Chains A and B, each alone.
Chain A
């Protein structure tokens, strides 16, 4: 789960990392009021995406009036796919240097990794182009936490600043560990003219699998932007992603569902959605069919089951229950294999008068053709 800058910075502050004085505003008047209190400030769009500056979402203001005018322009602006609803108004911090610091989960070492670069204030790829050796990294044993000596070595090349940087990275690691972060990043980490290090930005991503033990924290995060249908899927505890095609996809397991989309595309069609009812959701066939049908773009449907944990007879029964009630007029093609398939095939024959196609390719191909025919007929 992504967090906006204003929601991430308190985690740094709590760990003892300085951040500029400031406040969050949802109106220009509130932004002006905060600026009135702190003086020269920067007005920053709060959206969970990078490149805010390039999009015009970050502006300097020398007084409350100017801050209000900037806030007025930034609020309502679209950055990436996000509409700005909040600004962070922060005291301007004159600085002499910008660094990069982060802690993240590393799939290669299968542990936390601390990153530091003397090149800050730009994106990581840009910095790597400028100096491929600039990024220093340290693998950490999550059981014991980060070692002070190892941190000192990591920033030893930073001269006089090495001790304060090592101290800051230790605090950053603590904040990462205490908050089940997937990523906690400061870019830029600045050396203030007045002395000391200060975090001028913060990117915090909470591990989605840890949300259930971090509910208070998660309440401050930015939920993924969902379409109406995706929100319905979430309510039903189903993994549904809306896509722009016209062939509905209903399968079990993430891998098989992605593959069904791929095979639809391989045969010249475009998938209308990702919807999987594997794992614990395999009893939700009824809800799943309803959800697929709610998308008005769907012109045909492929139902592809390959049962392991998820029993194909249970999933098929769920779909048929919804089918018998809704009686949809939609060309639908089945492929059913794996646990419970004999029962499922019999059930389809008895209740729907349908025989599944031999392979998922057959089902996907037939669904693509049916969607094209529907299109031509309209």
Chain B
């Protein structure tokens, strides 16, 4: 899902160092933060919003929660995410890296049952330029997240940020940045994000930033083939050796599975231009939008 400024957002783990720092940044930017969660500090006020014992409590007292953002250590994520799902959140953003996969799968099953969208784990979050952001993205940097009409999907926060920068340098702006995360099992896949951006207002073209490993880009290519919006993609990891996890748990080539070439072929077959380097994105999008 794409988070909007009308969404009521809570921060689980709001009182920690990173929770505090990024809550302040999100508030400055325009994210509507209505509360936080820390069972040990329930009843206090932090970053100008009430701290609750749980997301369920926060949902009661704030008159509903649309989105929860988790600044929670790996082994606490399962309980916190289930709390957010129980609170009726429509979206749960899990930033944490190294969450045990069985915990992730548990959360996914509970979310599916309730119709909750999970974003992440291991994502830097999302940005809706000019409106709001969730997570730890440099949304406030106008040279990177200038509002505009290009949607960007990325498994990587840093590389996705660079892609947005390149687009803005080329004279474009960003309608929404969806950071989906670098884990092998994630709630919002490349295809899910592509469908969301296809339907999103003011989005006239889409850039997919993928990586080696898994089959999400191949799956997204099936949907891309049905789209009329111009699309470009970059797949990181073409120079990576086989059998090594390249920093992200999901970025690994095993034999002929998850290879750069498989993704490139699938995307090109769907009419998506695959870039040799992120620096080409502006020129390619310009050309495809003019066509």
A107, B185: Cβ atoms closer than 8 Å:
yes
B277, A209: Cβ atoms closer than 8 Å:
no
A180, B102: Cβ atoms closer than 8 Å:
yes
CB-CB under 8 A from A239, the residues of chain B are: 247
Distance in Å from the Cβ of B275 to the closest Cβ of chain A? 10
Q: A258-B236, A308-B138 are in contact. Are A278 and B158 (CB under 8 A)?
A: yes
Complex Cα spacing A207 to B251, Å: 15
A265, B239: Cβ atoms closer than 8 Å:
yes
Name which of B100, B108, B158, B277 has the most chain A CB atoms within 10 A of its CB: B158
Q: A258-B211, A261-B240, A338-B161 are in contact. Are A307 and B99 (CB under 8 A)?
A: no
A143, B211: Cβ atoms closer than 8 Å:
no
CB-CB under 8 A from A110, the residues of chain B are: 104-105, 108-109, 112, 185, 187
**Which residues of B from 152 to 166 have beta carbons under 8 Å from A?**
154-162, 165-166
CB-CB under 8 A from B45, the residues of chain A are: none
B100, A209: Cβ atoms closer than 8 Å:
yes
A306, B276: Cβ atoms closer than 8 Å:
no
B251, A258: Cβ atoms closer than 8 Å:
yes
Closest B residue by C-beta to A340 = B138
Cβ contact of A207, chosen from B75, B100, B160, B248, cutoff 8 A:
B100
B172 at the interface (CB under 8 A from A): no
B124 at the interface (CB under 8 A from A): yes
B240, A105: Cβ atoms closer than 8 Å:
no
Stretch at the interface among A146-154, A248-256, A347-355: A248-256
B240, A258: Cβ atoms closer than 8 Å:
yes
Cβ contact of A252, chosen from B99, B105, B158, cutoff 8 A:
B158
Q: Say which size band chain B's interface belongs to.
A: 35 or more
Q: A258-B240, A361-B277 are in contact. Are A308 and B101 (CB under 8 A)?
A: no
A177 at the interface (CB under 8 A from B): yes
Complex Cα spacing A339 to B182, Å: 20
Complex Cα spacing A241 to B156, Å: 18
B101, A337: Cβ atoms closer than 8 Å:
no
**Which residues of B from 243 to 284 have beta carbons under 8 Å from A?**
244-249, 251, 276-279
Cβ contact of B102, chosen from A141, A177, A259, A310, cutoff 8 A:
A177
CB-CB under 8 A from B244, the residues of chain A are: 241
Closest A residue by C-beta to B241 = A243
Closest B residue by C-beta to A208 = B249
A262 at the interface (CB under 8 A from B): yes
Complex Cα spacing A111 to B109, Å: 7
Cβ contact of A264, chosen from B75, B234, B239, cutoff 8 A:
B239
Cβ contact of B100, chosen from A213, A341, A360, cutoff 8 A:
A213
B159, A255: Cβ atoms closer than 8 Å:
yes
Closest B residue by C-beta to A271 = B239
B105, A360: Cβ atoms closer than 8 Å:
no
Instruction: Annotate A291-334 by CB proximity to B: 1 below 8 A, 0 otherwise.
Output: 00000000000000011111000000000000000000000000
Distance in Å from the Cβ of B122 to the closest Cβ of chain A? 9
Distance in Å from the Cβ of B85 to the closest Cβ of chain A? 12
Instruction: Annotate B88-110 by CB proximity to A: 1 below 8 A, 0 otherwise.
Output: 00000000011111101110111
CB-CB under 8 A from B100, the residues of chain A are: 180, 207, 209-210, 213
Instruction: Annotate A102-114 by CB proximity to B: 1 below 8 A, 0 otherwise.
Output: 0001011011100
B174 at the interface (CB under 8 A from A): no
- The B contact surface, by secondary structure, is loop
B239, A209: Cβ atoms closer than 8 Å:
no
Cβ contact of B279, chosen from A255, A264, A360, cutoff 8 A:
A360
Distance in Å from the Cβ of A132 to the closest Cβ of chain B? 17
B214 at the interface (CB under 8 A from A): yes
Distance in Å from the Cβ of A33 to the closest Cβ of chain B? 36
**Which residues of B from 169 to 226 have beta carbons under 8 Å from A?**
182, 184-185, 187, 209, 211-212, 214-216
Q: A105-B184, A241-B246, A337-B162 are in contact. Are A308 and B137 (CB under 8 A)?
A: yes
B144 at the interface (CB under 8 A from A): yes
Complex Cα spacing A257 to B216, Å: 20
A338, B138: Cβ atoms closer than 8 Å:
yes
Cβ contact of B106, chosen from A142, A208, A262, cutoff 8 A:
A142
B102, A142: Cβ atoms closer than 8 Å:
yes
B237, A258: Cβ atoms closer than 8 Å:
yes
CB-CB under 8 A from A212, the residues of chain B are: 74-75, 98
Closest A residue by C-beta to B238 = A262
Cβ contact of B161, chosen from A180, A207, A209, A306, cutoff 8 A:
A306
A266, B154: Cβ atoms closer than 8 Å:
no
CB-CB under 8 A from B241, the residues of chain A are: 241, 243
Q: A212-B75, A241-B246, A359-B279 are in contact. Are A253 and B157 (CB under 8 A)?
A: yes
**Which residues of A from 98 to 155 have beta carbons under 8 Å from B?**
105, 107-108, 110-112, 141-143
Q: A212-B74, A255-B154, A259-B278 are in contact. Are A307 and B138 (CB under 8 A)?
A: yes
CB-CB under 8 A from B237, the residues of chain A are: 258, 262
Distance in Å from the Cβ of A62 to the closest Cβ of chain B? 36
Q: A256-B159, A263-B277, A338-B144 are in contact. Are A209 and B247 (CB under 8 A)?
A: no
CB-CB under 8 A from B98, the residues of chain A are: 208-209, 212
Q: A207-B100, A252-B158, A338-B141 are in contact. Are A258 and B246 (CB under 8 A)?
A: yes
A182 at the interface (CB under 8 A from B): yes
**Which residues of A from 164 to 191 have beta carbons under 8 Å from B?**
177, 180, 182
Supply 9 further A-B pairs (C-beta < 8 A) apart from A254-B246, A308-B137.
A112-B102, A142-B109, A208-B98, A253-B158, A255-B236, A256-B162, A258-B211, A338-B138, A361-B279
Residues of chain B whose beta carbon lies under 8 Å from any beta carbon of chain A: 18, 74-75, 97-102, 104-106, 108-110, 112, 124, 136-138, 141, 143-144, 154-162, 165-166, 182, 184-185, 187, 209, 211-212, 214-216, 234, 236-241, 244-249, 251, 276-279
Give the 9 A-B residue pairs with the shortest CB-CB distance, closest first.
Answer: A255-B156, A253-B158, A254-B247, A255-B159, A309-B136, A256-B158, A210-B100, A258-B236, A110-B108
